[in-house]
Amino acid sequence: MDINSTVAVSRLVAQQRAMAVTANNIANANTPGFKYERVQFADWLSRQAGADTPRGGATITYAQDRATWRDLQPGSLSETGNTFDVALTGDGFFTVSTQRGIRLTRDGRFGLTTDGTVVDSNGNPLLDPNGQPLRMPPNAQQVTIAGDGTISTDAGQAGRIAVVSPNDPGRLQAEGTTLMNAPTGVTAVARPRIVQGALEEANVQPVLELTQMLNDAKEFQFVTQFLQAESDRQQGAIDKLLPATN
């Protein structure tokens, strides 16, 4: 494969990744707490050493899928009326305990297990500021969750929901659709703002994502057409150079 084709293929692979990310955004447009993703492209330079190259041809630039990042802008709120559905209207994340360790989430779909533990939709316990699972007293009634995360029942205060902020938001690592890992650690949010009986919707704008998908598809089609034209050109040159055979 010649240089023109390898450069085009690098763009094709990167564009394929961009289409997959956009498709994932569309698929999760109705997932509470989901944050849309974008692909960051970069140039990967290949310097041609010890070769006779034309002026300006000493460096070949390939397309590189360098990173994927999430936009952490909050989504809109939707009321559900469910007791353990909670939404954050400001900065921060809830913390849940998973098999891989403590993870952050903006998905506020919580419920109770048979022993009264507050868990997310995947069964991961919701944590308090001390990193312990929150549990409701047996037969607790009239559960209310204050704006600072304090949980009260007819039997008294049952605990408080931890809300934290990552020390370096730029290094958050997504795990699945709504969980994130904070490798640089977290800090407690001094004044969290929690709304009971509501969920934060995904910050995906479906119309914009569909437009992005169309643009991604056009870019992909353009590169494939270029590769086909390059293949035809090379085959035409070969046909002309080879001696005619009877």
Task: Write the pLDDT tens digit of every residue in 164-197.
Answer: 999 999 889 989 899 999 999 999 999 999 999 9
Cα–Cα distance measured from residue 124 to residue 95, given in angstroms and rounded to the nearest whole number:
10
Mean pLDDT, all residues of the chain: 84
Give the lowest-confidence range in 67-81, 140-154, 204-218, 232-246.
232-246
For residue 219, pLDDT over 90 is answered with no
What integer pLDDT is reported at residue 221 of this predicted model?
80
Residue 217 or 79, more confident: 79
* Cα pseudo-dihedral 219, 220, 226, 230, rounded to 10: 150
Mean pLDDT of 230-235: 70
Closest by CA to 161, choosing from 127, 119, 200, 199, is 127
Residue 149 or 139, more confident: 149
Cα–Cα distance measured from residue 127 to residue 96, given in angstroms and rounded to the nearest whole number:
6
Secondary structure (H, E, C), 123-176: CCEEECCCCCECECCCCCCCCEECCCCEEEECCEEEEECCEEEECCHHHCEEEC
Residue 243 is given by DSSP the state P
Residue 245 or 34, more confident: 34
Q: Please report, rounded to a whole number, the percentage of residues in the chain having pLDDT higher than 90.
A: 54
Q: What six digits make up the tokens of 29?
A: 């447009």
CB of 46 within 8 A of CB of 99?
A: no
Closest by CA to 179, choosing from 124, 115, 234, is 124
Burial-class residue 47 by CB neighbours within 10 Å (0-12, 13-18, 19+).
Answer: exposed
Mean pLDDT of 208-221: 87
Q: What six digits make up the tokens of 218?
A: 């056009």
Mean pLDDT of 104-111: 96
For residue 44, pLDDT over 60 is answered with no
Cα–Cα distance measured from residue 164 to residue 189, given in angstroms and rounded to the nearest whole number:
5
